[in-house]
Structure 1
Amino acid sequence: MRLPAPPRPTTKNAGLGVAAISYIAIDYLLHVSPAWHSRLMPVLWIFLALAALARVPYYRHWSEEFRSLIPFVASIVFMLAALLYEAISVRSVTAVLGLQWHRNQPPLPDSGQWILLALNEKLPSAIVALLRAPIIGLHHYLMLFIMLAFSVLCDSVKAPGFGLGARYMFTMAIGRLLRAISFASTIFPSPRPWCADGRFRVPAHPHPWLQKYYIPYQSDHIAIRQVIRLDEAYGMFDIGKPVGEYRPNWGAMSFLIDFLRPTASEGPTWYSLLKKAEGGCNDLIYSGHMLVAVLTAMAWTEAYGGYSSALVWLLVAHSAQREVQERHHYSVDCVVAIYVGILLWKMTGFLWSNTVTYSDRRLAKLKKIEGRLIQASKDSNMDKVRELLKQLESSDEESTFSKGRANKYGRWFPFAVIGFALAVVLLAFTLTSDG
């Protein structure tokens, strides 16, 4: 017996926004009243889970989810590969210079830091406290997006949810790759000079490659002029014999030794070395946290809109000033992350778009064959007309085929989808538990 469709909500832009605000507010209680946080957060999780499960029998877009499953999985694989490359680069940019360089190198001048410090003197203490408050973090933005994707079950967001998720992760993977290339190209000193000592056990001396190509010319203006003129490394300074490096046996992955610069106390494998990382120090331009925040805001704005999207952008601005104020990043890191995130999101609409519909795709395909169709009609070539119309209907046949497969496995597919999505959620929160 077919279940009746529930009435469509009349306040589309209310429910999800209220849920998002409730989640952020309740999670902030962890800093204000841990006891109330421990009581209310499980209630919210249970409510959201039951609300999603209650909508599963009424969801009518499983065929679209089925078609988007492969791009979604491919985006996950791409994302994991990008994160691995980023993790290697994060350690490398700190390790290659050695701890001594990081101890002695002062932070760069940052006008954003100066402005925020000046505002602390001018603004009321309540506003200053609000700006300093840890209202939202990385895992909050991920949760906001997860809530957005699951809201397809309530028809608050255009299906498929896997399509939206694929676009989000694919865009983030590209952003992570560009970020790793950027901060590895030019290494900035950390706004927190003590960071490297606290997070990494890399050698104190610079890598032998830098002992030849950077250290002799890092500060002396005469040496810099000379190396520019000669355009080659020369022995102007006696830096002594390069200090040797510890080289464990990593087998096929031994090429990573020169990038990661392990020490004897950090474990036998390169993977265990990366697992111990608790964030970077010199992975600055641009901010990875701000990239996640901006992509979440862009997804929320396009998929859901309403006043809640304005609130998400306010939270992005709050996160940006905290990144600068707490000296996790320079101002330029946040500015670049904002416009890179916006531009990347605009470029990946082919995976999911709130504006592209089935009619739009069919019309676009019709426009491609319009000229040939008119010419075939003028020539009274009915065989050609039928051939072109078959091409136009091919997309419908593919859709019907996918829908048939989804219906064939309809008994288990919705539950498999929900289980898989929850597994991805748990994985995301596990990997970001340390911020």
Structure 2
Amino acid sequence: MRSPPRHRRDSSGWLGLAAMAYVGIDYLRYVSPVWHELMQPALWAGLVIATIIRVPFYRHWSLELPVAIPFILSLLFMLSALLFEAICVRFATAVLGLDWHNDTPPLPDVGQWLLLALNEKLPQVLVNILRAHVIGLHHFLMLFIMLGFSALFNSVEAPGLGLGARYMFTRAIGRLLRALAFVSTILPSPRPWDYSTEFQPQWGLMNFLADFLRPTASKGSSSWYNLLTKAGGGCNDLLFSGHMFVATLTAMAWKEAYGGYSSALIWMFVMHSAQREIRERYHYTVDCVIAICMGIFLWKMTGLFWPIKDASRAKRLDKLDKIQSRLLQAAKDSDIDAVRQLLNEVDLSSQVSQKPGSRLMWLFSGATIFFTLVVVLLAFTLTSDG
């Protein structure tokens, strides 16, 4: 069943400002490293403290509880898909070896030619903007995390865990499709110079993994686990960009759940990131185009059957249906007070009863915040850009 549309509830626009502040402060690492070292920890601390303070005042934990299991299952599904993709990357490398690209040049890319030709036509300031590393994969992941947590502040409709579950489920589907595509049709990478000679690591009992992971001299000194979690694209093209797929999912989720000027700005970030992927030959042009199309398509597709429904919205619609005749009569009588009272009843009907002292809700809310913060921390510390 299709999940009901989510509407922006934050009239102050603080979420958009926080998102832009995060991207801007992180870019200070290139402009002013000193200010970056001062402001980024302050921003992180402020966001975490604000989130923790808001937990006791959140009135929709009862809506979050039913979607906790789908959230966990979606997380496990996504991790399984990422592991499958990493294995497929290493499999393709093991099949062809690390030197096959020496006799297989990259495919011609008209998109890259066009972007490089524009360097000589556009003003230097604009060229510098196009070249700037304004936003990367970890930014898009963090923007979505901020979107999910903003349910605590009523910026997006509850349940926030439901939005996160759909995001991870859709991402897993896309990763599986990409892995099946590039492992079945192996194309030369647009960056053949990235790969060096193979290296025989010293992993003890795990040395047999070298035949599957095929480490290079620059990475062979790392542990086998570190090599697996930081798996790159190998010697082959991946057919559509995982970075751009994640960026598109973030933009789609932001547009559906929040909207506004910040959504348009995030789509501009997506376009900027796409042209930089092409310009710097991380992906072919077709990789980025397909990734954006797949992100839009899969997000829309999962929305058609996503089972997590907004119970509060269903209650409002049910209550509105019951008082429809009374509401119409009050409108005909120009009784503004009666209309206001009836609409207030509709709004109150959507509020889920939750006992402030409920041990179950306190335990669930604390465990949810702790678990999600730990997952975010591990994602950004143990893997490549999340």
TM bracket, shorter-chain basis: 0.7 to 0.9
Aligned residues of 1:96 and 1:261 also touching (Cα < 8 A):
no
Among residues 406, 412, 432, which one is paired with 2:363 in the alignment?
A: 412
How many corresponding residue pairs?
Answer: 343
**Is 2:130 aligned against 1:131?**
yes
Deviation at 1:270, TM superposition (A): 6.6
Deviation at 1:298, TM superposition (A): 0.4
Q: Which runs of 4+ in 1 moved over 6 A?
A: 248-251, 262-265, 267-270, 353-356, 360-363
For 2:324, the equivalent position in structure 1 comes to none
Aligned residues of 1:250 and 1:269 also touching (Cα < 8 A):
no
Deviation at 1:281, TM superposition (A): 4.0
Deviation at 1:419, TM superposition (A): 0.6
Q: Which moved more, 1:10-19 or 1:410-419?
A: 10-19
For 1:75, the equivalent position in structure 2 comes to 74
Aligned residues of 1:139 and 1:432 also touching (Cα < 8 A):
no
Could you give the per-residue CA deviations for residues 135-184 of structure 1, whole angstroms, max 9, x where no partner exists? 00111001100100010011010111110110000000111101111111
Q: Would the alpha carbon gap of residues 263 and 126 (structure 1) be closer, same or farther in structure 2, given more than 3 Å must change?
A: closer
Q: Which amino acid aligns with 1:357?
A: R
Between the aligned partners of 1:176 and 1:102, the Cα distance in structure 2 is: 24
Between the aligned partners of 2:216 and 2:90, the Cα distance in structure 1 is: 13
Which segments of 5 or more consecutive residues in structure 1 lack a partner in the other structure?
1-8, 203-247, 364-398
Between the aligned partners of 1:300 and 1:190, the Cα distance in structure 2 is: 32
For 2:103, the equivalent position in structure 1 comes to 104
Among residues 292, 298, 302, which one is paired with 1:344 in the alignment?
A: 298
Between the aligned partners of 2:24 and 2:53, the Cα distance in structure 1 is: 25
Q: Would the alpha carbon gap of residues 294 and 317 (structure 1) be closer, same or farther in structure 2, given more than 3 Å must change?
A: same
Matched position secondary structure for 1:411: helix
For 1:357, the equivalent position in structure 2 comes to 313
Q: Would the alpha carbon gap of residues 361 and 338 (structure 1) be closer, same or farther in structure 2, given more than 3 Å must change?
A: farther
Matched position secondary structure for 1:410: helix
Between the aligned partners of 2:189 and 2:9, the Cα distance in structure 1 is: 50
Matched position secondary structure for 2:108: coil
Aligned residues of 1:164 and 1:351 also touching (Cα < 8 A):
no
For 2:154, the equivalent position in structure 1 comes to 155
Deviation at 1:432, TM superposition (A): 3.9
Deviation at 1:91, TM superposition (A): 1.8
Tell which structure's C-alpha radius of gyration is larger: 1
Between the aligned partners of 1:76 and 1:87, the Cα distance in structure 2 is: 17
Q: Would the alpha carbon gap of residues 48 and 261 (structure 1) be closer, same or farther in structure 2, given more than 3 Å must change?
A: closer
Aligned residues of 1:90 and 1:283 also touching (Cα < 8 A):
no
Could you give the per-residue CA deviations for residues 54-76 of structure 1, whole angstroms, max 9, x where no partner exists? 22121111011111110000011
Could you give the per-residue CA deviations for residues 78-107 of structure 1, whole angstroms, max 9, x where no partner exists? 011101100011122223112231122111
Deviation at 1:48, TM superposition (A): 1.2
Which structure 2 residues correspond to residues 141-180 of structure 1 after superposition, within 5 A?
141-180=140-179
Q: Would the alpha carbon gap of residues 21 and 13 (structure 1) be closer, same or farther in structure 2, given more than 3 Å must change?
A: same
Q: Would the alpha carbon gap of residues 358 and 434 (structure 1) be closer, same or farther in structure 2, given more than 3 Å must change?
A: closer
Query: TM-score under structure 1 normalisation?
Result: 0.71
Q: Which moved more, 1:166-175 or 1:415-424?
A: 415-424
Which segments of 5 or more consecutive residues in structure 2 lack a partner in the other structure?
1-7, 320-351
Matched position secondary structure for 1:357: helix
Q: Which amino acid aligns with 2:45?
A: I
Could you give the per-residue CA deviations for residues 278-333 of structure 1, whole angstroms, max 9, x where no partner exists? 55442421100001100000000000000100000000000100000000000010
**Is 2:292 aligned against 1:292?**
no
Q: Which amino acid aligns with 1:50?
A: I
Matched position secondary structure for 1:328: coil
Q: Would the alpha carbon gap of residues 99 and 411 (structure 1) be closer, same or farther in structure 2, given more than 3 Å must change?
A: closer
Q: Would the alpha carbon gap of residues 22 and 184 (structure 1) be closer, same or farther in structure 2, given more than 3 Å must change?
A: same
Could you give the per-residue CA deviations for residues 199-250 of structure 1, whole angstroms, max 9, x where no partner exists? x649xxxxxxxxxxxxxxxxxxxxxxxxxxxxxxxxxxxxxxxxxxxxx987
**Is 2:189 aligned against 1:190?**
yes
Among residues 299, 307, 315, which one is paired with 2:261 in the alignment?
A: 307
Counting aligned pairs with the same residue, the percent is 60
Matched position secondary structure for 2:119: helix
For 2:15, the equivalent position in structure 1 comes to 16
For 1:64, the equivalent position in structure 2 comes to 63
